[in-house]
Structures are given as structure tokens and as C-alpha cells.
Structure 1
Amino acid sequence: MSAASQDSHFVGWIGHDNKAIGNMKWEPYTPKQWEETDVEIAIEACGICASDLHTLRSGWGPANYPLCVGHEIVGHVVRLGNEVKHLRLNQRVGVGAQSGSCLECEECSQGLEPWCRRGLVGTYNGKFKDKQGNPIGASYGGYAKFSRVPAHFAVPIPDGLDSAVAAPLMCGGVTVYNPLRTNGCGQEGFKRVGVVGIGGLGHFALLFAKALGAEKITAISQTRSKEELARKLGATDFIATSEGPDVFAQHRRSLDLLITCNNNGDMPLDKYLTLVRPLGKIVAVGIPEEKMMPTPLAQLAFSGVFLGGSLIGGPGVIQEMLELAAKQNLEPMIEKRNMKDANQAVVDMEAGKPRFRYVLINEDYKAPDRAAL
């Protein structure tokens, strides 16, 4: 059987140029070359992430068209490489924003795969190479029927965690979970946590800050329109930045850790610095297309606050996050959309309609018989 015929089941929503938002085409594509360290996944659900939109329109630079986006994938294993020992056929797994790294460098050996010295391979818009450095195909995402990825980056989904809930956690969830847990959220000295931007990422941050044991959780937004919602998600305090400079003075040095989910060029970082105690931390997540916020170096020095950034999390961190979500029965705000309606769903996503995440569902997906697990 030829490679082409073996791969005939790979079909998905393909973007062909920077006008692809709302104009993707449902058509076949050729996945990466099969290796015995790979798995194939029948996709049940795939979250829509803002990264999908940035990539479809080449907002972060020219994309590698044709491409299929989607890196919040959940489904079950239908093909298993001979060298894969930690997964089994029919097992439910998830794949996040990363599906490749060298797995040999110091960072990879420490579970820091997103910071691999040789670079990460994105679950879409990336290029795979074999161990000899030869190209073996492009990476294609989860707006599709099936996914083929290196098994190292496929993470088991705990029982009790709904697939539609697990999907957006694979990128959106871990993007905020990782900096929260890495920077001591809920531990001594870091029990007062703030979250800037109550949207897709920010609402996950509120949920996980509470789950990790933060005692004071401050939601920060321009207006009070989301205050009631933020408090339902776990916030104990709320700051509306449009209410004037006095609001910052009232909350001076009230936080140990601040996660900023909105990092646009006009973000008042200088004012956010006043909210954090000396030796506290501000961690930025999310990468906008426009000019980034300026860094007030002098104020950083005088405030004694540490400023940093964070990027997703490795498979070990994702597994830890999923287990916490299942144990705490976390309920992020999601809306299911039919995979067949992906074009309209990304248009609605761009318009800011979801509260707070869309999840594409393959309506013809058939879960494996539990007896086979």
C-alpha cells in the first residue's frame, strides 16, 4: 500500500493564504512521515485558540500555507508506533501547542520542552525532521478528522474530565497554569494573585489561581462589566482601570504575583508595577500582533518587581494540570461548535463573541468501546 493511500483519511480545514479566516477549505492533506515514535489520533474535539487566528492571517509573520490550525486536540489513539510505551490503542489523549522538540538537550530532559535549545515544532505551521535532520513533513493541526504527532507530546486525559473541557486546557489552560504554579501561586509569600484581562486566558487564570490555593485573587479589567462573572470564577477583589489613577493607589503593593493576559502596546505596565510588592513577580502571557508594551526599566529597578514571560508547558506540566482540573472539577466557560461550521466559528472568534472559548466537535466521532480500553 502506498503512503498516499495509507494517509487518505487525513482531511481537514485548510487555509491557503492570509485571507483564510472564514475561507478555509475542507480538503485532504499529507501528514508528516510516519515514524514508530508516533501516534495517530481520531479527533473528538479541538479548541479554537487566538493563536489560530494570528496564524491564519499571518499576523505573527508569513505562515506556511497550506495549513490546518488547531492545537487544543482531544481524541483517541487509533494507531500506535512500535516504540511507544506510555500509551495504548483506544486511549483518550490530548495534544497542545507543541508536538516536537529534540528531547535530548538539557531543557528537554528537565521537562522544559517548550524551551528546547534546538527549537520547538508547533502542532501546526511547523516542520518536522528525522533524527538525521532530514525533513519529513509539515505539522497539521486539529481542525480535522485525524492528527499524527510524536507520541511524547500526546498526554492521557483523566477519566471524569469531559473532552470538550479538556481541549482548551491543552493550550489556553496550560498557558496560565504553568506560570502560576512555576511562580508559587498559593504557596507561602505568593497567596495574593492578580489577573489582567478577563477573557479566554484570564478566566482560566482565575480558575487555576483558586485551585492552586491563592487566598486573595484580584481580577483586573477596564470596566466593571465582567466583575460579577470574575467573582463567580474565583476572584475575591476587582479593579476597574478606567476608574482613574486613584484605583491603583488604593491597591498599592497588594499582590505577590500578577499574570497579564493582555499585553498590548498601550497596557499601563507602569501602573501595574505599583500593584505588586517588592520581590513580587509580573508574568506576561500571550503575544499580540501589534507593537508590544514598552518596558519601564527605571521603575522596575525602584519597584523591586521581577518581570518575565511564559510559554505553554511541557507534557508533564499538562498532565499535572489536567489531573488538577479533574480533581477540582473545574468548569471553564466553553461553547461547543460543530467542526463542519469551523469557518463561521473562527469569524465569530475574531469578533470576540465567545464567552470564553469555542470548542469544535466532530459530530461523526465514535468513541471506542470501553471494553477495548
Structure 2
Amino acid sequence: MASEVKVPTLGESVTEGTIGEWLKKPGDPVKVDEPIASLETDKVAVEVPSPVAGVIGELKAEVGDTVEVGAVIATVEDDVAAGESTKVAPREQDAAQAETKASSPPPAAAKEAAPGDTQTLSPAVRRAVLEHGVDPSTIKGTGKDGRLTKEDVLAAAEAKKSDGGTVEDAAPDQAKAASPAPAATGERREERVKMTRMRQTIARRLKGAQENAALLTTFNDCDMSAVIEAREKYKDLFAKKHDIKLGFMGFFAKAACLALKDVPSVNAYIEGDEIVYHDYVDISVAVSAPNGLVVPVIRDAQAKGFAQIEKDIADFGKRARDGTLTMDDMKGGTFTISNGGVFGSLMSTPIINPPQSAVLGLHRIEDRPVAIDGKVEIRPMMYIALSYDHRLIDGREAVTALKIIKEAIEDPTRMLIDL
């Protein structure tokens, strides 16, 4: 008896998605709730689980097909039915057995991988495995249900390098298979790749922001000495008590809450001919994911402490890399913080995340000479930028909000006494 695999509910106002990748093929065994396909929506990649245990039967959609919520995309047969449907002629069976023997791993490798220990790899993990030539069956996964993450693969690759050999030496066959043939001298190549659904949505929203909002950016710089000193002084105690590292984003999130409280228009947005103000701060944090930029939301940031904010950010980052963020994680948001500094950016003009009216851009910290009390000193400085919708936010308000953030970072005590 075959069971149908249907497209699950994808979130509010999302009625369809695109088959990004089949994680299982016909004939593969599958467990209950084991992912069999990756489905791309406008905001996230969603894994489609199997409703029953059995064997994959027919795939009713191909990669790139658009499917609606509730549509049947595959069937799963029970073990008995699958066994009967997969019987082959003796000659074909002999050929299959010969092929299996030829492709079987050596005994040593068979011992390393437990019987039946097949892993479902996400696209990002699969790319990392091919790129670095590591054996996924020898790596212990730290993701949900023991699944491999990209970081697990990178760590394994680094471990092999530190053991005195290169990754290519450890797995020459995989490296050769993953490396494209070198182009002939003077040959010019082109490759056309269809944009993912998420990338199309990102492009459409960002272009819409430029067309529908009066964008302007104001800049400032802040001395990071006080924050760096506080982190250095309390990092061990903080980590011991809260089981999370004390990062920079917690400071900027709390500083932003101060600014948005004093300048409420920066935390508002335009809807029709009305302005919608908020008495809470839901901060969207821009996070880099394998398929593009996503912006999960820290709810009620104004009511959370540093530890909870840091835990939320760390959780979002991990789930973004693993591809397990949900639509609800990214719903809403009244203000955005984007940290280009982690990639080395010195300065930028970030684009707002509609329908929000402002976004704070953070950048890399570098030692620069600054004048302090008439003397030139070397301080760790960061350029910060606030892009805003000038239809709603006046220049005075934008500059004031950014100045409040600067002052709170340079004197973190202000965040404790609400100044």
C-alpha cells in the first residue's frame, strides 16, 4: 500500500513552493518524518518529511517544479509492497549484484560506517563535502538528530590538514570528481543558473524598497573601547552563568532599543496613508544562509537581557546554516540590524527591509587615530550607518537615533540606567 507525500503548510500567505532538491530517490528506504525533499519558498527552504516509514515509490514532481500546498509530490510504499514491486529478472539481478560488488567500499571503510548509516545531506553540506573531499560517514554530526552541518565538514577538513596531510591526499577520488576539468587556454565559458525562489524574492523586495521608499543614509563612528573592555572583563563569568558567549550584537540590540524608544518614528512604518507605531521592538537580524540572506526576528528585544538576545542570535545563525528556520521565525520585525563587519566591510549603505522604515548597518572594527582631549590616540573604531525612509523619518530624527546608539556603545552604563 502506498502513502502520499503532500506539500505541508508553508506559513501565512504562502501557497506554493518550488522543488529545490530531492533528498531521496525511488527505491530508497525512508523513516517516519525523515526529509525526502527540499522545498524552496519565498523566504526559507522547507524540508518535506515522509509521513510513514517504507520505501520511496514514485516522484510526482521534478526539481524546479512549482507545487501548491497540499499537492501530492511523491508516494511511499510499505516494505512488503516495495519488495514485490522491485523484483528484477535473474539476469538483471546478477548485473545489479556485480555492480554493487564493484562499487562496494573496502573493508576498512565498511567498518567505519555502521550498517545502514546513510545520511541525508543538505545542499550546503553536500557542496562542502565535495569541495573538501571528506567522507561524511566518518564525521559526527552536531545538527538536529545528529545531522551533519557545514561547520562539521569544515572542522573535519581542518582536522585532516592539521594531522599533516591535505584533504586532497586523504580523498583524491572525491577531489578529482568535484574539480571541473581545466579550461583550455583562452577558452571563455558561460553558465546559466536559474535563480532560486528565495533569491528572486530577495531581488524583488530590495528593488521594491528602492522604488517605493525615499532612502537616505546617515553615518557616524563609535569608539568600541568600552564594549571591548566589558566583554574582556566579563566574558568568562557571562559564559559560565548563561552558557553563551557575550558578543557585540547584544550591545547594539540594546542600544537600538534605547534609540527607538526615544525616536519612535524609526520603529514605525507607513501603511497606506497611516503611520503604524509600535510600543515594542522586534529586531530583524540579517543572517547569511546557504541560499541567501534571511532575517529572523528577536521578539520583544526591549524586554530581553543580553544573555537571551545572544542566545536568540546564536540559535538563528545555527538554524539558518542548517536550513531549519521557519516562516514564523521571520514574520514581522520593526527594525533591522545588518552586520557586514563579519565579512570585512568598512562602510556600506544598507537597504531597509520593507515595510520597516530603518536599518542599522554595522561594520568591521579597526584601529584608527582619533583626537581625544587634544591628543591623538589609537582607538578601535567602527563606522555605523542608519538607512531610513525619508518619507517618514526626518534627518534630525535619524541623526538623533544614530547618535543615541553611538553614545550607548561608547558608554554602556547608559543602557543600564536608561539614558
TM-score (norm 2): 0.21
Flag the structure with higher helix content. 2
More contact order relative to length (CA 8 Å, sep ≥ 6): 1
TM-score (norm 1): 0.23
Structure with higher Rg: it is 2
